[in-house]
Amino acid sequence: MAKTTSQNPADYIVSLNINGMEGRMARLPSPGPSKKREMLVVYGHHALIERWWGLLQNLNTYGAVTMPDLPGFGGMDSFYSIGRKPTIDNYADYLAAFIKMRYKNRRITIVAISFGFVVATRMLQRYPDLQKKVAVMVSIVGFMHQDDFVFTPRQRVAYSRLARVFSSRVASFLIRYVGLNGWFIREIYIRLPAGKKRFVEMEPTEFDSMMEFEVKLWQCNHVRTHWRTTAEFLQLDNCKSQINLPVLHVASKNDHYFNNHNVEQHMRVVFTDYERFVMNSKAHTPGIMASKKELAVMVPPGLRRALRQ
């Protein structure tokens, strides 16, 4: 494939078949022969490749970029379809298999977003031999431990229990086919504190477009997987074994999910070194309809300098 010139993400998305599951993968070639960096981007929850198209374009400045689907997200088959559960360990095994299949003898830069960083961290802990394949480890609003959340311990336990209830076969079926319609999602979003904060400055047409995309996101992601993984990361402890790599961490200035101080302390426990950059986002990440220009905040100047090396 030639240099990335099209602005249409569909031109860079191909089918992905791995471990008996079918999904998709975005592959943006290097912009030139001098840009030899290979970047593997791992998305987080509430995922769709198209959601992160602007981020992939920003990263593509520094080399080739690949973003695979994760099982149960982005429309990919879930682990349940092959008789497995969507545990963090199983996601780590999946990511390791993808790296071994895709990169073989090449070194990579891992750029992992939020829950994607949880998966990438667990993968390197379970497969220490893969650590030598990683040239740079980048976290974008990633986290390490249940105590990184801004929730109180009581809230976190309550949310985790509720998520496990929602991840049951019956509850997830009802949520998908009764709750996840446009009207219901719209009504929930405009009443949530985070939603009110994000939507207050929107024009009606912009709000309608965003809600249409939100419905698409919720409906293309496997509901049972969404809640099962939510329950697990609310009880997360990824600090049990070290990784022989430094981490470059992009923290959100206004993160409504994580305590940035706690995240730093836990990352320092696991990684050999830690460097933080701050993005000026109004929330955990920019909005789902954000453009390439708006998503540029996720690659702050300090990180850009590191990726140029």
- pLDDT tens digit sequence for 29-80: 999 998 999 999 999 998 999 999 999 999 999 999 999 999 999 999 999 9
The pLDDT of residue 118 is above 80? yes
13 and 55, same domain (yes or no): yes
Question: In this predicted model, which residue has the larger pLDDT, 195 or 246?
Answer: 246
Judging by DSSP bridges, how do beta strands 63-68 and 134-140 pair with one another?
unpaired
The CATH number that applies at residue 290 is 3.40.50.1820
Q: Is the pLDDT of residue 86 over 50?
A: yes
Phi, psi of 211 (to 5 degrees): -65, -35
Distance CA 264, CA 219 (A): 34
- The average pLDDT across 220-235 equals 95
Tell me the per-residue pLDDT of 263-279, one tens digit each, with 9 for 90 and over: 999 999 999 999 999 99
Is beta strand 21-28 parallel, antiparallel or unpaired with respect to 13-18?
Answer: antiparallel
Looking up tokens 């100047």, which residue turns up? 301
Q: Minimum mean pLDDT among 154-163, 219-228, 281-290: which range? A: 281-290
- In eight-state DSSP terms, residue 14 is E
Same domain, 203 and 300: no
CA distance 307 to 228: 34
Q: Given this model, what pLDDT does residue 215 score?
A: 79
The pLDDT value recorded for residue 188 is: 73
In a domain, 4, yes or no: no
Return the pLDDT at 203: 66
Same domain, 22 and 122: yes
C-alpha–C-alpha distance, residues 280 and 123, integer Å: 29
Model pTM? 0.91
Write down the pLDDT at residue 225.
97
Residues 291, 266: one domain?
A: yes
Q: Are strands 63-68 and 37-42 parallel, antiparallel or unpaired?
A: parallel
Domain that holds residue 258: 9-149+233-308
Domain count, the chain: 2
Lowest average pLDDT, out of 97-106, 195-204, 215-224, goes to 195-204
Please check whether residue 297 lies inside any domain of the structure: yes
Tokens at 237, concatenated: 């402890």
Judgement on whether residues 135 and 168 belong to the same structural domain of the protein: no
Residue from 177, 183, 285, 160 nearest 222 by CA: 177
Structure confidence at residue 214 (pLDDT): 78
Give the other-Cβ count within 10 Å of 159's Cβ: 15
Answer yes or no: are the C-beta atoms of 114 and 285 closer than 8 Å. yes
Paired with 64 in beta bridges are 38
**Listed residue (150, 294, 278, 140) closest to 210, CA to CA:** 294
For 287, the 3-state DSSP assignment is coil
Q: What is the pLDDT of residue 1?
A: 43
The mean of the pLDDT values for the chain is 91
Q: Which of 163, 196, 229 is the last residue of a domain?
A: 229
Please tell me whether residues 93 and 33 are part of one structural domain: yes
pLDDT tens sequence across 171-214: 999 988 887 777 777 777 766 665 555 555 566 677 777 777 77
